């Protein structure tokens, strides 16, 4: 439901601007990272990588291995 996703992310942006911390689990990697400060990648239930979201968006090796971006 793309319209619902857009509405939810609009609300997440507002919450972020207000200083609310959000733990977001989302399969749309690019969209999730676009509003995130930090990101954690889990593989088989273990955190295997963590970084600033902007760094993960720029890291082609991480994208190819984990994110399918």
What range does the domain containing 63 cover?
A: 2-67
Task: State the CB neighbour count (10 A cutoff) for residue 52.
Answer: 13
62-68 contacts at long range (C-beta below 8 A, 24 or more positions apart):
63/29, 66/41, 67/29, 67/41, 68/29
Count of domains observed in the chain: 1
Q: What is the pLDDT of residues 6-64, one digit of tens each?
A: 999 999 999 999 999 999 998 888 899 999 999 999 889 999 999 999 999 899 888 88
Tell if the pTM clears 0.85, that is, is over it: no
């Amino acid at each position: 439901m793309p319209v619902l996703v857009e509405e939810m992310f609009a609300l997440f942006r507002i919450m972020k601007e207000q200083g609310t911390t959000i733990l977001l689990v989302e399969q749309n990697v690019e969209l999730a990272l676009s509003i995130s400060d930090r990101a954690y990648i889990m593989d088989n239930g273990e955190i295997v990588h963590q970084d600033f979201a902007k760094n993960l968006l720029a890291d082609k090796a991480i994208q190819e291995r984990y994110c399918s971006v």
